Amino acid sequence: MDFMISLDNRSPVPLHRQLYEEIRKSILTGRLTAGASLPSTRTLALSLGVSRSTVTQSYDQLISEGYLQTYVGSGTKVSEHLPDDLLQVAPPKTHKLRAEARKTPSPKLSRYGESLADAAPFEPTEPRMPIHFKYGIPALDEFPMDIWRRLLLRHCRADRSRLLDYAETAQGEPGLRAAIVGYLGRSRATRCTADQVIIVNGSQQAIDLVTKVLVDRGDRVALENPGYLGARRSFLAQGARLEPVPVDEQGIIVERLPARSSSQAKLIYVTPSHQFPTGAVLCLPRRLELIAWAADAGAMIVEDDYDSEFRYSSRPIPALQGLDENENVIYAGTFSKILFPSLRVGYLVVPPPLVRIFVRARWLSDRQTPTLEQRVLADFINEGYLERHLRRMRTLYDRRRQTLSRSLKQHFGDRVTILGENAGMHLMARLETGRTDEEVLRRAREAGVGIISARIYYLTDARAGEFVFGYANVSERKIQEGVRRLAKALKKTCLNPENE
């Protein structure tokens, strides 16, 4: 393939960045078309006279933004169908920004700002569907709003100066931190005191703080592949070098981590309770291996326990935080999935030596989480409402999950493999349809059904035909109807794509 790429050694823009720009431009202008194969990193490095790591870095960035895909055994290719938002929304904005930057030297973005300007859009542009298997949304209709309202009113009558003034500490309300310690001890076997808990605005802020405090530009961060985009975006924005680690039905494959002695990874980010998106639950032996690896490699583990509360067929496995003896685990939890996402309350549990630094970073970020919500939540936990709500939701989600699993098997038979259904609020289905993922999504959309392709969650070695189905906020009737519509929309193609 003739690339016609020219790199400028004298430019202040790093070579990997220039190469990234050139390839991206070629894709956006259609010089490189969907499905086109790219040269191997070695070949391109040789032909451009640059190091192989320069090419690898540019490829990694383009892969993580969805422009390129790697496939087992067939190298790196331009993504078959670029998501519309990459083609329509981001490029004009980015070009405009860059054009303006060229005209006027200021405002000159920081490297952090630059990486955000270049990133693919964060917010989904998916239209709402009549039946939407959106992941990560709890059953919103079931939230006990009457209880919440009563607790809110109770606290609104409290001393105004303490309620409305800045909080005394950015760490969070002591009452809520104590309630969280009690709750975690009962449900997750963590070992910590309230002094180690820092209240944050959701686990995304937790990940962002961890990144700022622990990761420097160029640092290596290991993460699950496929894995959670919110974490990947944070690490990339900070300029981290990502080290994808494959996942199987038992979670992250610890033995595929770089050798302990040679690893320079500073951080490893994992979702052990319900791997995102495959749903695998990390088994106990691997948890212990991971902890040993981190101790030897001198790396911190970030344990994102986003929907650990929902387990259906086995007892919970203790959190890494409780198993670790070396103060190497930072635990992140959230109320987005057990209560509601717009609450924006989550928490970090950090090893004692790091607390002071994290609280300062928390202060710099946005001072505090609103006091009123923290106090209401503390009562909600202490008065037993949280665990009651959880019990109800576990039963409800279990029914919904079984209905989804049954419907998928009924309509797709041996053309579906279901993964990760024993925990959480979503499952992943491998569908054999004989069509591209984009075609499946388009047909689903036309039938009024929203599902998500798992491809975007892969950093490398993406698999086709994997889809994420969130079920917690979808009624059983809608689940059945959604799967029926999906199967109908794909049926002819599954049986005989030629005869449509």
Ligand X SMILES: Cc1ncc(COP(=O)(O)O)c(C=O)c1O
Rule CB under 6 A: which residues touch ligand X? 136, 202-204, 228, 230, 271, 276, 304, 306, 334, 336, 341, 346
Give 334 or 407: the residue with its C-beta nearer to ligand X. 334
Q: How far is the CB of 257 from ligand X (least distance, A)?
A: 19
Q: Considering Cα of 124, then 126, then 130, then 131, what sign does the dihedral take?
A: negative
Residue 23 Cβ vs ligand X, minimum distance, rounded to whole Å: 29
Q: Alpha-carbon distance 109 to 120, whole Å?
A: 17
- Rank residues 316 and 341 by Cβ distance to ligand X and give the closer one: 341
Q: Which is nearer to ligand X, 22 or 305 (CB)?
A: 305
CB of 247 to ligand X, least distance (A): 13
Closest CB to ligand X among 68 and 376? 376
For the bound state, the minimum distance from the C-beta of residue 230 to ligand X, rounded and expressed in Å, comes to 5
Nearer to ligand X (CB atom), residue 22 or residue 304: 304
Nearer to ligand X, 472 or 487 (CB): 472
The nearest distance, CB 276 to ligand X, in angstroms, is 4
Q: Which one, 48 or 280, has the nearer CB to ligand X?
A: 280
Task: Considering the complex, state which of residue 22 and residue 224 has its C-beta at the smaller distance from ligand X.
Answer: 224
Write the single-letter amino acid at 498.
Answer: E
CB of 59 to ligand X, least distance (A): 25
Rounded to whole angstroms, the Cα distance separating 454 from 39 reads: 25
Output the smallest distance, CB 137 to ligand X, in A: 8
Chain centre distance of CA 105: 35
What is the closest distance, in whole angstroms, from the C-beta atom of residue 430 to ligand X in the complex? 20
Instruction: Name the residue nearer to ligand X (CB basis): 202 or 465.
Output: 202
Minimum distance between the CB of residue 466 and ligand X, rounded to whole angstroms? 16
Nearer to ligand X by C-beta: 424 or 482?
424
Alpha carbon distance 78, 88 (integer Å): 17
Per residue, what are the HEC states of the chain?
CCCCCCCCCCCCCCHHHHHHHHHHHHHHCCCCCCCCECCCHHHHHHHHCCCHHHHHHHHHHHHHCCCEEEECCCEEEECCCCCHHHHHCHHHHHHHHHHHHHHCCCCCCCHHHHHHHHCCCCCCCCCCCCEECCCCCCCHHHCCHHHHHHHHHHHHCCCHHHHHCCCCCCCCCHHHHHHHHHHHHHHHCCCCCHHHEEEECCHHHHHHHHHHHHCCCCCEEEEEECCCHHHHHHHHHCCCEEEEEEEECCEECHHHCCCCCCCCEEEEEECCCCCCCCCCCCCHHHHHHHHHHHHHHCCEEEEECCCCCCECCCCCCCCHHHHCCCCCEEEEEECCCCCCHHHCCEEEECCHHHHHHHHHHHHHHHCCCCHHHHHHHHHHHHCCHHHHHHHHHHHHHHHHHHHHHHHHHHHHHHHEEEECCCECCEEEEEECCCCCHHHHHHHHHHCCEECEEHHHHCCCCCCCCEEEEECCCCCHHHHHHHHHHHHHHHHHHHHCHHHC
Of the two residues 43 and 125, which places its CB atom closer to ligand X in the complex?
Answer: 125
Rounded least distance, CB 311 to ligand X, Å = 16
What is the nearest approach in angstroms of ligand X to the Cβ of residue 155? 22
Taking the least distance from each CB to ligand X, the nearer of 28 and 231 is: 231
Instruction: Give the amino acid at 303.
Output: E
Smallest gap from residue 401 Cβ to ligand X (A): 17
